[in-house]
Structure formats: C-alpha cells, structure tokens
A and B are shown apart, each in its own frame.
Chain A
Amino acid sequence: MLGILLNWLVGLLVFGYAGWSIYRYYKRSKKGKCAGCSVEKSCSSGCKPKS
C-alpha cells in the first residue's frame, strides 16, 4: 500500500515538475528579458522598439 502511494507521489512529482518547468520556460522565453523587470508595467522606454 505504502509502496503504491510512494510510486504515485514520486511519479506526480517528477512529471508535474517537468511539465511546469517547460511551461514556464516557454512563457518566459516568449516574453523576453523585460518579463523579469519590476517596472515592466510602467516601462515605456526600453522595451518598446523605436520605430
């Protein structure tokens, strides 16, 4: 019983973490460098390309 539970737990941990990390990496890559910046919302200078 304990063995099955442990199996489920480890499986969930491994696959859950794997899925989450891929999702996050994809989101971050898409947003680029500004995503990590704390003035991202009010920032109107650096992130917007000059046309």
Chain B
Amino acid sequence: MNTVALTGNPNTGKTTLFNLLTGSYEYVGNWPGVTVEKKVGRLRGMQGLLVDLPGIYSLTPLSKDEGVATGYLLEENPDLLLNIVDASQLERNLYLTLQLIEYGKPMVVSLNMVDVAKSRGYEIDAKKLADKLQLPVLPIVARTGNGCEKVREAIKHGGVTPSDLQINYGDIIEQAIDKLSFALSFQTDLTMPKRWLALQFLEGNEVVTTFLEKRIDIGLLDQIYQQTVEQCRKTGLVKNHSSLQPYMRQIRSKVISEIIASCLTQKHRVEKTWTDRIDNIVTHRLWGLPIFLLFMFLAFKLTFEWVGVPLSDLLDGFLGGPFTDWLRVGMESISLSSFLQAAILDGAVAGVGGVLVFVPQIFVLFLIISFIEDSGYMARVAMVMDKIMEMIGLNGKSFIPMIIGFGCNVPGVMAARSIEQPKERLLTIILTPLMSCSARLPIYSLFVGTFFAQNQAIIVLSIYVLGIVLSLILAKLFSIFLLRHESSVFFIELPPYRMPQGRTLIRSTWEKGKGFIRKAGTFIFGGSIVIWFLSYAGPGGLDVSMNDSFLAMIGGVIAPLFTPLGFGSWEAGAALLTGFLAKEVVVSTMNIIYAAPDALSLQSLLESQFTALGAYSFMVFVLLYVPCLATVAVIRKETGSAKWTWFSVVYGLAIAYLVSFLIYEGGKLLGFA
C-alpha cells in the first residue's frame, strides 16, 4: 500500500487539499495550528493512504504539534512526500521544502494560493521553480479545487526522487556529516538518508537527537558536535552562540534567494489590502474588544432568539405530537406489551427526543464558530485578548481552545497543543472545560425557556460569560499558587482574511454537529433506556410509582447535598449524576423522570419544582461541575498526568458547589427567591 505524507507550513491549506484528494472531511480553519494530530485518509481514485501532518516551518519542532510531523518522518516510512507550498509566502515555505528534499523520498510540490499571490502582485513561474528544485511543481488553488486533478495524477506517477539539488554546507559541516554517516554505517534498518539525519542532528533537532542517541554512543555524538562548533567558531562561521543552526540556515537561505530570483517577479505593489482594512476595524485599539463582545452577543441572539429556538420549537412540536402518535398507533397494532411501549415512549423517545430537539440551536452555534474559524478572525481574537490573558498568566492563544471549547471541550483541549509554553498549555487544558460546550446548551435552553422566557439570550450569555470570567480568575489563582516560574510568551501569525465559502461552512458545521446527532442515536439512546428502567423498577418490583423507584433512591442519597444550592430534589440529583457521562443526558433524564410528552408540559412541571433563582443556580452548577467522561479522558491523554486529571475533576466540583451556593444564598438575601 502506498503512503503519501502531506507536509507544509502552517495554514497553507494542507487539510483542504487532504479533503479534496481523499474525499473525506477533516477540520479546516484559517489559523495556524488547525491540525494538531496526524490524520489518515484513503486516496480517491487510486490505491494508497494520505497522511495529513500538522503544519511546520522547519523540521526542528518547537511546540508539541510540530513534533508530530518530525516524529512521523522518523518512525514511519512514507513512499511519497506531497509538499504544499504557499505561493504568497514562497521564501519561507521553501525552507521546509529544502529540508524535505534532503529526506530523499520521492516528492511532489503543489504551489497553493497562487490566486492570493497574484492579488498581492506576485507572479511565479512554476516551470522555472520546477527546474530549480528538480521536482514537479503544480500550481493549485485548493479552496476551489483548481489544479488538484494534476496533483492526483502526479501522485499516481509516484513523484520524482530528488537528487540533484544537494546543498554544500561547507567543509566543516560536510566533514561532520561524513563522520556521523560513518558512525551510522552499521545501522541497516534506517529508511531515511544518513545525510538527512546528520544534518538534522547538527541543526539541533531534539527529536532526531533522541533517535540517534539510541543508535550511536552519546559520547561520540557529543564529541562530533562540539568539535564542529569549535571549528566553525575558529573560522568565524559561528559567532558567540554555540548553535550551528543560524549558519546552516544562512546557507539554505542563500540557495532559496537564488531560486526565488529566478522564478518570482513582482508585477505591481499593493498598498492597502482588504486584510488591512478589516484589521483596522476589528483590531482597532479601542473598538477591538467591544466588537468581539458584540459579535458574541449577536451569535447568542441568533442561536437562542432569532433562528435556533423557533426551529427547535417546530421540531419539538413534531416529535411530541404526530411522531409520538404514529409510534403509539404502530405499537398498538402489533400489540406490543405495555412494558416495551413504556420503554420506547417514556425511555427512548423522551430521552433521545429531548436532546434532538436542540439540534437546530446547536447547528446555528456551530455555524457561527465555523465562520470565526474559517474567516481568519480567530487569530485576531487572540491578538485582542492577549493583554487580558497576559495579566492572568496565559496568552492570547489560549483563547482559541476556549472558543473551540464552546462547541465541544474535547477538540478544545486538543487545540491547546499549539501553545508553545508548557505551563500555559497545561493551564489552558485545565480551564477549557469551564467553556460551556454545546452539550450543556439543551439544559440551559430548557430552563431559560421555562423561567426566563423574555430574556433567553442574555441569561444564557451570562452563563457563558460566567464560565469565561471564572476561568480567568482561576487561571490567575492557579498561576500564582500552582504553576509559578516560566515567563509567558506570545506569538501569533495573522493569516489574511478570506470570505468563508458556503460549502465549506456547511460541511464543517455538519462535521462538528453530526457527532451530536450520532451520540443521540447511540449513547443517549442506551442511557435513556437504562435511566428509564431505573425509574420504572424499584425495590417493590416493576412499574412502581416514580417516587419509589431505584432512580429516586439513588437521587435521594445525594439530594440533601444540593438543598443549600436551591435544587434539593431527588430528580435534580439523579439528573446531575447521569450528566457525568455526557452532559446532554441531564435533559434526557429530566424528560424521563417528569414523563413529559413534550417540552411544554415538561416546562410546566419544572416550574413546580424549581424557583427561578434555583433554576439559575442549577444551570451554573451544570456549567461548572466535572467535565464529561470524554473530556476527562482527553485531559488525561493530553496532560499525561493522573494528578492533573483528578485535579480538573475535583476543582470543577468544588467551584460548582461554591459558586452555585453563593448565587442561591446571595440571591435569596437580595430577595430574588
């Protein structure tokens, strides 16, 4: 089986090309660091796999996601490298290309964003570039799919093995390469050129160094390295620092300059681009932050008042009305037992339907998040937020995982990988679960629809803002008491804006949202049946009254704990317990417990159980208490530490209890009860 590895600088359209070539759909966005883990897809129209690697500037990794690409080249043995090069940033993109050429595998270069380059007044002669690199160079516009057919053809033909363009690094380095190659001569299992390994080692690539240390005597490695540095220093090639990297970079840059000079011409100068104009507004020194907040407010208005809720109401009417009737008639006609009828109607339909009703709202929210991601606004938000984030010991980039966390905490936690600084990364991972994910949204929707019908958007926004504010406060506290030292740094690339294409938006919205629907059909279904059974059975046998069921017993044990928070009923306790598995289950459980045929009757039942203040307190508790099972698992994986995983569970519970307590008791004192 052929394996093709897709490599290139961050934000050059690798994932877009990946989607075109494989026909699958992966997460695409317009900020550097969208792909933090490699992805594999089957190539369309031919045999073979395509591996999408995170974007890198050079093979020397700096953040965790970059290590993935270098590690891949060391451990796996791809048959072909597909190198995507951003035509509008040719010079810096070619740096990686040269390093990949040294890797010695057959290559195809696809020159992406030729349209962007043109709009900036650059003309690139792909033929001349191909001559210089001795590789096939194919101009494409991945966003529109232009030229991708040719790339497919080139892959089919197996690319071209680079050989001619071998850079001479000067006598001293070349000698060191020879020595290292000799030391490696007994390693017969190496799939990559020894020259490449030697070059990467001399450049200070830590991943390669670790790889070599397993194969060559560490003393010898160190000796060769020190000797080379010493010699370079004597001849003045390396100045005061003890790294060869600047010198080697200089040599490559010279080669690149020659290549560029032969194939790039600037036709005209573009003074003010669209990106400048938009940036003048959205990163304005005074309006920048208010514009972001306004944008978020509109997002909530759209989700909860203008589009999402009306659609949800329609769906609810259908599920609770005609659908249930048809189902009942159908089940009667095949004379299904009353036990099974109850299991299906009061269990599955109530539980799954209660969650499905919120699909329109969740999709509207995902559509907005996709827009932020694809337009290039995301990186600007990081810019605007950096000052505030710096004050609490984080950096502006931490805000990106948090925004993604609004969709789902799991990819949010993963997105923290693009943060360079370990402490800031850990803090971001731990705090991302405080971002209210879409699974929590049905719970808020249910409660605001019941208790705060007039101000739905603003109440829900207040919950989201509470999550953000608390995470900021906690970040400050944690960085003072738990993770001192290490200075905070910030660096972000600001990609040019682009108008998200309708097709891409719809696809990425669907990709984010389909998990929600799938989960409703699988896990929520299963959970609903189990919960229904617990509510149907009790110590007294089957079909007991709800208050004598197992569920009531279980919920009743923990209910007293919640009395000071304003929701001490066994129903609330049971719903919260089940919510640890997945937060939507809270709504499913409530639907089953209150045995309400539709949202309307559920709402009237809720009114008899909660006060408005208690309902708010409940929403806050749901926002903050333990991350769901999937999030806990990904935190464990990403931090690699059981200690921090437990910490994130425990502090969540503690904060949830404390804040809900303060809100409920404080609200009572102020006379809101």
Contacts and interface: CB of A to CB of B under 8 A. Distances in A.
Asked whether the complex places CB atoms of A and B closer than 8 A, the reply is yes
B670 interface: no
Contact of B37 (A28, A31, A46): A46
A14 B68 contact: no
Given A29-B633, A32-B634, A37-B37, A21 B522 contact: yes
B96 interface: no
Contacts of B336: 6-7, 10
B633 A39 contact: no
A45 B211 CA distance: 12
Given A7-B337, A29-B633, A46-B38, A18 B75 contact: no
A39 B529 contact: no
A38 B36 CA distance: 16
Contacts, number: 105
Contact of B71 (A6, A22, A44): A44
Nearest to A34: B637
Interface string B616-658: 0000000000000110011011111100000000000000000
Interface in A1-51: 3, 6-7, 10-11, 14-15, 17-22, 24-26, 28-34, 37-39, 42-51
B639 A18 contact: no
Contact of B340 (A7, A21, A43): A7
Contacts of A33: 37, 410, 414, 634, 637
Interface size class of B (residues with CB under 8 A): 35 or more
B348 interface: yes
A9 to B, nearest CB: 10
Nearest to B641: A49
B40 interface: yes
A44 B529 contact: no
B306 interface: no
Given A14-B529, A22-B527, A49-B637, A42 B334 contact: no
Nearest to A50: B64
The binding surface of chain B is classed by DSSP as helix
A33 B410 CA distance: 8
B334 A19 contact: no
B72 interface: yes
Nearest to B529: A18
A12 to B, nearest CB: 10
Given A14-B343, A21-B522, A45 B638 contact: no
B631 to A, nearest CB: 9
Contacts of A44: 71, 75
A21 B520 CA distance: 10
B633 A49 contact: no
A14 B75 contact: no
B523 A21 contact: yes
A36 B75 CA distance: 20
B495 to A, nearest CB: 23
A17 B337 contact: no
A40 B67 CA distance: 16
Interface in B408-441: 410, 414
Contacts of A3: 334-335
Interface in B9-47: 36-40
A21 B530 CA distance: 11
B523 A6 contact: no
Contact of A49 (B38, B49, B337, B638): B638
B64 A39 contact: no
Interface string B576-613: 00000110000000000000000000000000000000
B48 interface: no
A17 B527 CA distance: 11
Interface string B309-349: 00000000000000000000000001111011001100010
A13 B528 CA distance: 15
A13 to B, nearest CB: 10
A49 B67 CA distance: 11
A17 B526 CA distance: 7
Contacts of B637: 32-34, 47, 49
Contact of B76 (A7, A18, A31, A39): A39
B630 A29 contact: yes
Interface string B134-156: 00000000000000000000000
Nearest to A40: B40
Given A37-B37, A37-B40, A44-B71, A51 B640 contact: yes
A29 B375 CA distance: 32
Contacts of A30: 629, 633
A10 to B, nearest CB: 6
Contacts of A32: 630, 633-634, 636-637
B633 A21 contact: no
Given A14-B343, A46-B71, 17 more contacts: A6-B334, A7-B340, A18-B525, A25-B519, A25-B523, A25-B526, A32-B636, A33-B414, A34-B37, A38-B49, A42-B75, A45-B68, A45-B75, A46-B68, A49-B637, A50-B64, A51-B640
* Smallest CB-CB A-B distances: 3 pairs: A49-B640, A45-B71, A18-B529
21 contacts: A6-B336, A14-B344, A18-B528, A18-B530, A21-B523, A22-B527, A25-B522, A25-B523, A28-B630, A29-B629, A29-B633, A31-B633, A32-B636, A32-B637, A33-B37, A39-B38, A39-B40, A39-B76, A46-B37, A49-B639, A49-B641
